[in-house]
Amino acid sequence: MKKIHRMALTAASLFFAITSAHALEGDAKAGEQAAAVCVACHQPDGSGMNVPGGESWPALAGLDADYLYKQLQDMKAGGKRQSPSMMPFASMLNEQQAKDVAVYYSELPAQGGKFDEGATEEELAHGEKLATLGDWDRYIVPCKTCHGPDNLGVGESFPRLAGQHAGYIADQLKAWQSGKRDNDPQHLMLAIAERLNDEDIRAVSQWLARQPAQ
């Protein structure tokens, strides 16, 4: 019980500390031009793509600019966030271009995610429980504790999950589990992801993808 309490307090403390995130200094018009290297996967409108049973490229539209900039820098560095497909593209952008691209995508309207139409009601109910209530018996904190009300995101550390592609959410949870991704505050995502099984990951990603993105 003490361990659960510490996890909840840590998550809540970070949530409130990041709600006053600063605005990134970037130019959206310049970002639109620099984003020419991004559109093949993330689409001109930032809606991304989700290939059933294959790779999923995230929807970037409407995500926090500081979050997007940080991810670009982390993938460029290749240490705490390993992404072989993204590293060469992130490396094409200098620091100011990365800021411009981040601001550009952050100002586009968020859109709904793609998901598996075959997900069952039982799966979705389980996913909703994990996202909104958690599973305290397994030390799993609900997603909304850090990602905010309705999982619409908070500042540069906790991105919007609602309306993100189910395939991408699942891929990232598995990346946290495997250690390919380790660029979050206090290793909070590792602590959650390592307690999720494959059924949990499918359920929560499918439910989150169906939620309103705005």
The pLDDT of residue 22 is 52
18, pLDDT greater than 60: no
- The verdict on 66 and 137 lying in the same domain is no
- The verdict on 12 and 86 lying in the same domain is no
- The verdict on 122 and 177 lying in the same domain is yes
Q: What number is the average pLDDT over the span 78-82?
A: 92
- The verdict on 170 and 141 lying in the same domain is yes
Gap between the Cα atoms of 56 and 68, Å rounded: 17
Q: Domain limits at 58?
A: 28-106
- The verdict on 58 and 139 lying in the same domain is no
7, pLDDT greater than 80: no
Residue 96: inside a domain: yes
Residue at a domain's end among 90, 106, 122: 106
- The verdict on 128 and 171 lying in the same domain is yes
Residue 149: inside a domain: yes
Residue at a domain's end among 106, 121, 152: 106
pTM of the model: 0.90
- The verdict on 157 and 184 lying in the same domain is yes
- Give the whole-number percent of the chain exceeding pLDDT 70: 90
* Domain containing residue 162: CATH number: 1.10.760.10
- The verdict on 184 and 128 lying in the same domain is yes
Gap between the Cα atoms of 9 and 69, Å rounded: 27
The pLDDT of residue 20 is 43
- The verdict on 173 and 205 lying in the same domain is yes
- The verdict on 11 and 117 lying in the same domain is yes
Range of lowest pLDDT (10-19, 54-63, 138-147): 10-19
The pLDDT of residue 23 is 81
Residue 214: inside a domain: no
CA gyration radius, the chain: 17
Residue 39: inside a domain: yes
Query: Which residue pairs from 45-52 have beta carbons closer than 8 angstroms and sit at least 24 positions apart in sequence?
Result: 45/108, 45/111, 46/105, 46/108, 46/111, 47/111, 48/165, 48/168, 49/114, 49/165, 50/113, 50/114, 50/115, 50/165, 50/166, 50/167, 50/168, 51/167, 52/116, 52/167
- The verdict on 118 and 203 lying in the same domain is yes
Residue at a domain's end among 52, 76, 106: 106
- Mean confidence (pLDDT) of the chain: 91
Domain tally for the chain?
2
- The verdict on 34 and 91 lying in the same domain is yes
Residue 62: inside a domain: yes
